[in-house]
Amino acid sequence: MFKFIIRRLLGIVPILIIVSIVIFLFVRMIPGDPARLVAGPDASYEDIQLVRQQLGLDRPIVNQYFTFVKNVIQGDFGISLKTKRPVITEIGERFMPTLWLTIVSMVWAFILGLVIGVISATKRNKWQDYVGMFTAVSGISLPSFWLGLMLIQLFSVYLGWLPTSGFDSWKSLILPSLTLGSGVAAVIARFTRSSLMDILKEDYIRTGRAKGLHQQIVVWKHALRNAMIPVVTMTGLQFGFLLGGSVVVETVFSWPGLGRLLIDAVAFRDYPIIQAEMLLFALEFVLINLIVDILYGILNPQIRLG
């Protein structure tokens, strides 16, 4: 296991190099001139050229990339073009709200999705199965921005129970987490149902039932453990998507997280912020995949990781 982890950690390096090149080139393809935005709408051509020189945008693209990589290795992600503050400070202030939103969304989505999936698999073709799958399909189909607006209209405007925006207390987490986690819960429910139905057909499950084991013991102790392997894979991927893809939900609820920061950075052509956030999201996906692989070995020791 230790050798496997070391190899995977070393494998992160070439992945991040390729991702950094793609991100660097992609950011430069965004329409608009950041030097003009920094200089202001009334700036002259000479002022814009001076700003471009100060930002290093007048240098060859290859030189800009190697300077970017050298600074990242040293832990320097640059200065925000919009706020004139260090990028690491901007991201640090926005990271925890996004992390809390992601964790809360994933926890309730995983629990609810797992329960719905197990009930649907064990009550196949019965009303519980139909209700569970209808709920799952609805969760996948509803656009997050529409669901968020409907939740705001119901619980904030009509009932007045919950705040509409911001991150002031635990109540502020409820509506955004419900909106963000609804699709994930639906995906986990469908994967759990499909995987568990296949496991329940195995010979050792029939043997357990023949020996007189209670249905709950057969399902929750024996079948679900093996059925969890594909579910864990999907959950890990969904966690990465939530952490890096909450842009719409954060915009709807005015959530002070990384998603809104990225939207503002794209609008202002804030290259340092965009590059740092996209690198962070890529690193998150790689580390989450590593954790998922380790969980494979915990759930099923017969899987060889070394």
Highest mean pLDDT among 19-28, 106-115, 121-130, 292-301: 106-115
pLDDT at res. 129? 81
- 282, pLDDT greater than 70: yes
Start-to-end Cα distance in the chain: 6
User: pLDDT, tens digit, for every residue of 25-45?
Assistant: 887 777 777 777 777 777 777
pLDDT at res. 197? 80
User: How many CA within 13 A on the CB side of residue 33?
Assistant: 14
Q: Which CATH architecture does the domain made up of 88-299 adopt? A: Orthogonal Bundle (1.10)
User: How many CA within 13 A on the CB side of residue 77?
Assistant: 21
- 73, pLDDT greater than 80: yes
299 pLDDT tier (thresholds 50, 70, 90): low
User: Which pTM value belongs to this model?
Assistant: 0.75
Question: Could you tell me which residues come within 8 angstroms of residue 241 by beta carbon, excluding any fewer than 6 positions away?
Answer: none
Two structure tokens written together for 301 = 């020791």
User: pLDDT, tens digit, for every residue of 147-200?
Assistant: 888 888 888 888 888 887 777 778 888 888 888 888 888 888 888 888 888 777
Residue ranges per structural domain of the chain: 2-73, 88-299
pLDDT at res. 132? 83
In three-state form (DSSP H/G/I as H, E/B as E, the rest C), the secondary structure along 50-115 is: HHHHHHCCCCCHHHHHHHHHHHHHCCCCCECCCCCCEHHHHHHHHHHHHHHHHHHHHHHHHHHHHH
Nearest to 284 by CA among 240, 230, 254: 240
